[in-house]
């Protein structure tokens, strides 16, 4: 293709100018709009004495927004101003510039959900040397780089509640399958491992057989097709567990519009707003999750306790977590917020996330 | 069947039905369709439930949106351009559809489709305008607009998502309801394929697109309005992507900032596998549509036969390479035949 017109007539030149103008205008809108989120300073703050910086895995994620909402409430109650800093894409290195920014602005506490446990290490180390306390939440960093890790729930509880629900729904016997996210996701594999162990050891589940584990990569389309594949490959399938919000919603959407609706049970970890429709139309009876807002809320109070010097993040430390009472730090500097919650037709309207 | 302008008519001396038969077997759609049929047969032998009514319906539904996107993309690729921004356009239209239902719950559904296609056409027109006026390869322009459109969507949507429960039931049912056993949205896609196929085969403006893709300068010398035709191809592709975006909202459970990202490469792959040469000027929208069905069926078939899904991408890659090698072999052979027939004419 030619780069320049050989016959440059007036009309063409005008068109070229207009084309450039359009692209500049587009870029300007794109940048201006992107700027408000990309640079990511959401609320007041920007350094100073009592600032707490929240660094989620990525911005614009519905789940993250609820966690951060709780975090901002918690920070306010704990007497901190908060700011949210974060990348638009959940990649290992994307958080580093934001950690550096928080350090330069003199944040007292950095609350981080790490995209990679080690990649953020050196910059967190620098932040600590500058006097910041590091609270990891949602997804842990390497324990060397943080003071405390706030975990929403005990991994084993998450696994067991899903088995309990599916067992209730299929009457304690039959074939089940798991629709997971990616084959490499640490948390997914941990839950699946606990489920397999429980199925093998608990006599209540002796008639339940796990026939397949498939991976929908947290992509709506792939999860859709994997669900179809499960149902067409395993005629006797009684239930599906999907421990991922994208997976369970895609599977529910498929089931609700297929012949299998009501014949195959579905449960897992889902967001109430995403699952409401399917709980109301009977495709899904019950699913589980934790209340993500509590996670941010407790993380904020943990930050305050670290700054005040009431805890160091050692096992056995206790700190006050506002409305949620007193929280005890467990082994490895991990504090657990609470048990998972079950969502069903009776209570789903009480939640908005 | 073959409507390939780059390929000169050969063996005209045979004429008659024999020529038609030969043309049929030489057309690039046939190997793709053959591969599709073989795939379905083999999968069914391994897992008979692959052809159960529910499964057949799923296969058609899975292919529908990609078919429509592939038809639009084929129009653009035939003119020796490419549109990499369709994933972002689809995302914008899908989120726009969700927003429209949110703002005006009682909006008539035909109006939603019209608005979606118009929105897509406007975005396609931006691409087409930049490509024809700036005279920079479409690959670069649409790579740019892909990011710009996605950036606009990201800031517009933020973390907001619209769920299928937010839309009217009748709208969601569109992607489930069947007519004579065929899902309604699949019928829409088939109508699109046939209409665009006839246009490309028999209408002057459609033939012009092939001429432009074969040799832009020759087309210009011949008096074809190259700029407006290419612009029209981008607008048509945008409108079809808009249609696909509305259907996406109907079929899937949520639309948000990330909707449709990465889709563009799947669609280009489908078009290329379907025998539309990336160098322009050859191929048909029927081929592109069959390519789309083949790629979406491979995914379902590997899932149904429980083949490790890591193989799936390798499989698609092999098909693309095979399509390109076949394409190259055909054009080398045609070039040789062309030389022979020209020397005979002298």
In a 13 Å sphere around the CA of A281, the CA atoms on its Cβ side amount to 15
Hey, of A14, A21, A227, A229, which one would you mutate to test binding to chain B, going by the most B CBs within 10 A of its CB? A229
Residues A60, B158: C-beta atoms closer than 8 Å: yes
Residues of A whose CB is below 8 A from B134: 16, 19-20, 23
The chain A residue lying nearest B176, using CA atoms, is A257
Residues of B whose CB is below 8 A from A232: 47, 49-50, 52, 54-55, 304
pLDDT > 70? residue A222: yes
- Give SS3 for B220: helix
Does residue B250 contact residue B175 with C-beta atoms inside 8 Å? yes
Domain A155-289: CATH superfamily is Response regulator (3.40.50.2300)
Residues of B whose CB is below 8 A from A14: none
Interface membership of A37 toward B (CB under 8 Å): yes
pLDDT > 70? residue A310: yes
pLDDT digits (tens, 9 = 90+) for A256-270: 888 888 899 999 999
Judging by DSSP bridges, how do beta strands A318-320 and A326-328 pair with one another? antiparallel
Rounded to 10 deg, the angle between the B263-273 and B310-345 helix axes is: 40
Between positions 242 and 261 of A, the ones with CB within 8 A of B are 249-250, 252-253, 257-260
pLDDT digits (tens, 9 = 90+) for A265-287: 999 999 888 899 899 989 999 99
The confidence score (pLDDT) of residue A28 equals: 52
- The minimum CA-CA distance between B14 and chain A, rounded to whole Å, is 38
The chain B residue lying nearest A211, using CA atoms, is B306
Residues A224, B156: C-beta atoms closer than 8 Å: no
The chain A residue lying nearest B149, using CA atoms, is A30
Rounded to 10 deg, the angle between the B285-304 and B29-46 helix axes is: 20
pLDDT digits (tens, 9 = 90+) for A108-146: 999 998 888 888 888 999 999 988 999 998 888 888 889
The confidence score (pLDDT) of residue A198 equals: 93
Q: Sign of the CA dihedral A55, A56, A61, A63?
A: negative
Place of tokens 């035939």: B78
The confidence score (pLDDT) of residue B25 equals: 52
Average pLDDT for runs of 10 along chain B of length 346: 44 51 65 89 89 88 94 96 96 95 90 96 96 90 95 88 84 85 91 96 93 92 92 97 95 86 91 90 93 90 78 80 78 77 67
DSSP label at residue A258: S
The first and second tokens of residue A93, run together, are 């290195």
Residues A224, B136: C-beta atoms closer than 8 Å: no
Residues A19, B133: C-beta atoms closer than 8 Å: yes
- Round the average pLDDT of chain A to a whole number and report it: 83
pLDDT digits (tens, 9 = 90+) for A313-346: 888 888 988 888 888 888 888 888 888 889 999 9
Quote the distance between the C-alpha of residue B126 and its chain's center. 19
The confidence score (pLDDT) of residue B153 equals: 94
Residues of B whose CB is below 8 A from A273: 163
Of A3, A18, A228, nearest to B303 by CB-CB distance is A228
Please state the ipTM of this predicted complex: 0.72
Residues B52, A232: C-beta atoms closer than 8 Å: yes
The confidence score (pLDDT) of residue B90 equals: 97
Interval A64-77 mean pLDDT: 89
Residues of A whose CB is below 8 A from B219: none
Q: Which sequence spans correspond to the domains of chain A?
A: 51-152+292-338, 155-289
For A331: left if phi > 0, alpha if psi spans -120 to 50, otherwise beta; the answer is: beta
The first and second tokens of residue A132, run together, are 């910041």
pLDDT > 80? residue A30: no
Hey, of B54, B58, B69, which one would you mutate to test binding to chain A, going by the most A CBs within 10 A of its CB? B58
DSSP label at residue A3: S
Of A5, A229, A257, nearest to B303 by CB-CB distance is A229
Place of tokens 């007292």: A108
Residues of A whose CB is below 8 A from B52: 232
Does residue A241 contact residue A179 with C-beta atoms inside 8 Å? yes
- How many CB atoms are located within 10 Å of the residue A329 CB? 24
pLDDT > 80? residue A39: no
Residues B136, A257: C-beta atoms closer than 8 Å: no
The confidence score (pLDDT) of residue B326 equals: 77
Residues A31, B151: C-beta atoms closer than 8 Å: yes
Q: Which sequence spans correspond to the domains of chain B?
A: 30-43+50-328
Cα separation of the two ends of chain B: 30
Between positions 70 and 99 of A, the ones with CB within 8 A of B are 88
**Confidence tier at A161 by pLDDT (50, 70, 90):** very high
Residues of B whose CB is below 8 A from A37: 154-155, 158
pLDDT > 70? residue A157: yes
Residues A34, B299: C-beta atoms closer than 8 Å: no
Residues B145, A257: C-beta atoms closer than 8 Å: no
Of B136, B145, B151, nearest to A33 by CB-CB distance is B151
Residues B62, A61: C-beta atoms closer than 8 Å: no
Residues of B whose CB is below 8 A from A61: 159
Does residue A258 contact residue B58 with C-beta atoms inside 8 Å? yes
Same fold, A51-152+292-338 and A155-289: yes
Interface membership of A348 toward B (CB under 8 Å): no
Judging by DSSP bridges, how do beta strands A174-180 and A237-242 pair with one another? parallel
Distant-in-sequence, close-in-space partners of A202: CB < 8 Å, separation ≥ 6: none
Hey, of B101, B219, B254, which one would you mutate to test binding to chain A, going by the most A CBs within 10 A of its CB? B254
The chain A residue lying nearest B66, using CA atoms, is A221
Distant-in-sequence, close-in-space partners of B256: CB < 8 Å, separation ≥ 6: A62, B95, B157, B159, B160, B161, B162
The CATH code that applies to domain B30-43+50-328 is 1.10.3470
Between positions 159 and 218 of A, the ones with CB within 8 A of B are 212, 214-215
The CATH code that applies to domain A51-152+292-338 is 3.40.50.2300
Of A4, A222, A253, nearest to B253 by CB-CB distance is A253
pLDDT > 80? residue A150: yes
Hey, of B40, B59, B88, B151, which one would you mutate to test binding to chain A, going by the most A CBs within 10 A of its CB? B151
Residue A313, CA distances (Å) to A112, A120, B106, B129 in order: 15, 19, 55, 60
Least reliable range by pLDDT among A106-115, A173-182, A186-195, B315-324: B315-324
For chain A, give the longest Cα–Cα distance. Answer: 84
Q: What's the CA gap between B193 and A304, in Å, rounded?
A: 62
The confidence score (pLDDT) of residue A11 equals: 52
Nearest partner of A199 among A160, A236, A169, A231, judged by Cα = A160
Q: What's the CA gap between B145 and B126, in Å, rounded?
A: 9
């Amino acid at each position: 293709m030619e780069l320049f017109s050989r016959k440059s007539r007036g009309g063409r030149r005008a068109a070229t100018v207009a084309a450039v103008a359009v692209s500049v205008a587009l870029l300007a809108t794109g940048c201006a709009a992107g700027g408000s989120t990309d640079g990511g300073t959401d609320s007041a703050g920007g350094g100073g004495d009592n600032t707490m910086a929240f660094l989620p895995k990525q911005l614009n994620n519905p789940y993250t927004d609820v966690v951060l909402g709780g975090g901002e409430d918690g920070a306010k109650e704990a007497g901190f101003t908060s700011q949210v800093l974060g990348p638009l894409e959940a990649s290992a290195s994307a958080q580093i510039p934001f950690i550096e920014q928080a350090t330069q602005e003199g944040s007292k506490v950095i609350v981080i959900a790490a995209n990679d446990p080690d990649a953020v290490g050196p910059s967190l180390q620098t932040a600590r040397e500058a006097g910041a306390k590091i609270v990891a939440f949602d997804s842990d960093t390497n324990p060397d780089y943080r003071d405390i890790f706030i975990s929403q729930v005990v991994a084993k509880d998450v696994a067991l509640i899903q088995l309990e629900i599916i067992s209730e729904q299929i009457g304690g016997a039959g074939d089940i399958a798991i629709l997971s996210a990616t084959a490499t996701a640490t948390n997914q594999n941990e839950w699946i491992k606990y489920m397999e162990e429980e199925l093998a050891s608990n006599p209540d589940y002796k008639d339940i057989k796990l026939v397949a584990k498939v991976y929908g990569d947290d992509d709506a389309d792939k999860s859709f097709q994997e669900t179809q594949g499960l149902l067409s490959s395993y005629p006797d399938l009684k239930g599906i567990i999907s421990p991922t919000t994208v997976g369970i919603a895609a599977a529910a959407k498929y089931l609700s519009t297929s012949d299998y609706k009501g014949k195959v049970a579905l449960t897992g970890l889902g967001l109430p707003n995403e699952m409401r429709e399917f709980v109301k139309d009977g495709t899904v009876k019950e699913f589980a999750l934790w209340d993500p807002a509590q996670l941010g809320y407790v993380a904020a109070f943990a930050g305050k306790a670290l700054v005040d010097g009431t805890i160091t993040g050692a096992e056995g430390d206790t700190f006050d977590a506002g409305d949620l009472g007193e929280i005890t730090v467990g082994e490895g500097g991990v504090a657990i917020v609470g048990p998972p919650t079950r969502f069903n037709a009776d209570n789903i309207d009480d939640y908005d996330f | 069947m073959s409507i390939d302008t780059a390929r000169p008519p050969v063996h005209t001396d045979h004429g008659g039905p024999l020529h038609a038969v030969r043309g049929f077997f030489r057309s690039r759609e046939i190997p793709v369709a053959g591969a599709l049929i073989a795939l379905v047969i083999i999968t069914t032998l391994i897992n008979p439930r692959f052809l159960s009514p529910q499964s057949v319906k799923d296969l058609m539904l899975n292919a529908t949106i990609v078919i429509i996107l592939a038809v639009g993309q084929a129009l653009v690729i035939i003119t020796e351009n490419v549109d990499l921004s369709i994933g972002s356009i689809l995302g914008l239209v899908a989120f726009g559809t969700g927003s429209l239902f949110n703002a005006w719950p009682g909006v008539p559904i035909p109006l939603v489709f019209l608005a979606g296609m118009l929105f897509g056409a406007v975005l396609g027109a931006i691409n087409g305008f930049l490509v024809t006026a700036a005279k920079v390869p479409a690959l670069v322009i649409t790579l740019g607009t892909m990011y710009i459109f996605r950036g606009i969507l990201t800031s517009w949507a933020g973390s907001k998502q619209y769920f299928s429960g937010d839309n009217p039931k009748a709208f969601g049912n569109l992607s489930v309801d069947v007519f004579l056993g065929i899902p309604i949205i699949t019928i829409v896609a088939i109508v699109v394929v046939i209409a665009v196929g006839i246009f490309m085969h028999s209408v002057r403006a459609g033939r012009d697109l092939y001429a432009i893709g074969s040799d832009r300068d020759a087309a210009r010398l011949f008096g074809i309005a190259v700029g407006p035709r290419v612009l029209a191809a981008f607008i048509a592709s945008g409108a079809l992507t808009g249609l696909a975006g509305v259907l996406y909202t109907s079929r899937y459970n949520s639309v948000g900032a990330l909707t449709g990202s990465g889709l563009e490469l799947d669609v280009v792959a489908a078009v290329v596998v379907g025998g539309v040469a990336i160098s322009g000027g050859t191929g048909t929208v029927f081929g592109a549509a069959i390519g789309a069905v083949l790629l979406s069926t491979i995914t379902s078939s590997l899932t149904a036969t429980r083949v490790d899904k890591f193989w799936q991408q390798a499989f698609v890659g092999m098909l693309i390479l095979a399509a390109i090698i076949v394409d190259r072999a055909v054009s080398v052979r045609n070039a040789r035949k062309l030389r022979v027939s020209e020397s005979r004419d002298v």
